[in-house]
Amino acid sequence: MKEENNNSSENIIHENIDRNKIIVKTSIIGIVTNIFLAAFKASVGLISNSIAVILDAVNNLSDALSSVITIVGTKLANKLPNKKHPLGYGRIEYMSALLVSAIVLYAGITSLVESVKRIIHPEKAEYSMVALIIISVAIVVKFLLGRYVKHNGEKAKSGALIASGADATFDAILSASVLASAIIYLTTNISLEAYVGVIISGVIIKAGIEMISDTLNDILGSRADAQTTKKIKQILCEEKEVRGAYDLIIHNYGPNKNLASVHLELPDTMTVEQVDVLTRKLQNKVYHETGVLIAGMGVYSYNTKNDESAKIQNTILETIMKHNWVLQLHGFYVDINKKDIRFDVVMNFEIKPSEGISIIQNEIRKIYPDYNIYVIPDVDVSD
């Protein structure tokens, strides 16, 4: 068992090392490719007096800058924890992804402004066959680069790379629109590049806003992945002593850096020593199978010594589950001698916790007036 755990730890370490290599390698390829494309497009744009081509070249430079930011963010995110930041610097990656998204948004706004200027003050463009060929090659290169970067971003779970890949794909569309405008101009003498620039700018701005929104969700904290939470609960409940696992909260401190807390429902006959052995075993097992470190395990006890508690629980369960805003009851325990009833209730976001608890306590007091009712509200944070 110890050997299996060591192998699992080594696998997680190797995965993180491979992830960093993928991000850096992909970003370097993006930097080199974008610099070459920017140089060629800038030359074509200046020679042909095409604002669309020049803006396309500037966009490639912004993509190169995005890749530089991604590399720097990855390096900083992998700094070792210290006293000031004991949980590491992993969230810096989210900040770098936010910067990349901001660059995409800025490029879109800049393109929109310049395109509108060209509509108001049109200038004649002149395209050569060489220019058209260069633009065509750039479209293919940028499309392939976009797919490559996005694929590696999803593989490495890097928001910055995914954003860069999506941006590269939009650049390919932008270049294709420029090429189409050039062909239309050469065949009909009608210049549409400024109008096409407005449309593409709108698409880029929309993409930038969506990227910023996704990254802000990572920074603010969002609902944990359902597959991960179900896997963790499954592992915890495989132990015969555990009747249920509740209140699972996962705190993210960067890609692949997750700390969690959870409550286990255990029989009231277990000793503290037995609980200690069990929780350590489960912490170890969850980490080595999911990479999530359970930093805290709370305990609910359930009655095993009398049948009266089961009857009370069923009555209360039937009473409160009639409300559509009640999702779950757990941690139920009855102390017959002290006349105490305590449990937790998970409520949805349609009702204020204080209001829901007040309703539930009043209903139960009518049924069991001799008991002290202790109800704790829980938030619907995970599946």
Question: Domain map of the chain by residue range?
Answer: 2-220, 226-379
Residue 4, pLDDT > 50, answer no
Mean pLDDT of 182-210: 80
The pLDDT of residue 11: 52
How many residues are recorded in the chain? 383
Residue 103, pLDDT > 60, answer yes
d(CA 36, CA 34): 5
**Does domain 2-220 correspond to CATH entry 3.40.190.10?**
no
Q: Which amino acid is at 34?
A: N
Helix locations, 157-291, DSSP H: 159-188, 193-220, 226-237, 272-290
Residue 353: partners with Cβ closer than 8 Å, 6 or more residues away:
347, 377, 379
Residue 99, pLDDT > 70, answer yes
Q: Which of 146-150, 183-187, 240-244 has the lowest mean pLDDT?
A: 183-187
Our measurement of the distance from residue 363's CA atom to the centroid of its chain's CA atoms, rounded to an integer in Å, reads 40
- Is the CB of residue 38 less than 8 Å from the CB of residue 183? no
d(CA 67, CA 23): 9
Mean pLDDT of 233-257: 90
0.85 surpassed by pTM: no
Strand pairing class (340-347; 372-379): parallel
When mean pLDDT is compared over 98-102, 174-178, 219-223, 321-325, the highest value belongs to 321-325
What's the pLDDT band for 14 if we cut at 50, 70, 90?
low
Task: Give the chain's largest Cα–Cα span.
Answer: 94
Mean pLDDT of 317-328: 93
Q: Which of 48-57, 176-185, 278-287 has the lowest mean pLDDT?
A: 48-57
Mean pLDDT, the chain, whole residue set: 84
CA distances from 147 to 6, 31, 104, 252, 259 (A): 36, 15, 17, 27, 32
329: left (phi over 0), alpha (psi -120 to 50) or beta: beta
The CATH H-level superfamily of 226-379 is Cation efflux protein, cytoplasmic domain (3.30.70.1350)
d(CA 193, CA 188): 13
- Give the position of tokens 């980490």: 287
What's the pLDDT band for 52 if we cut at 50, 70, 90?
low
**DSSP 8-class letter at 354:** H
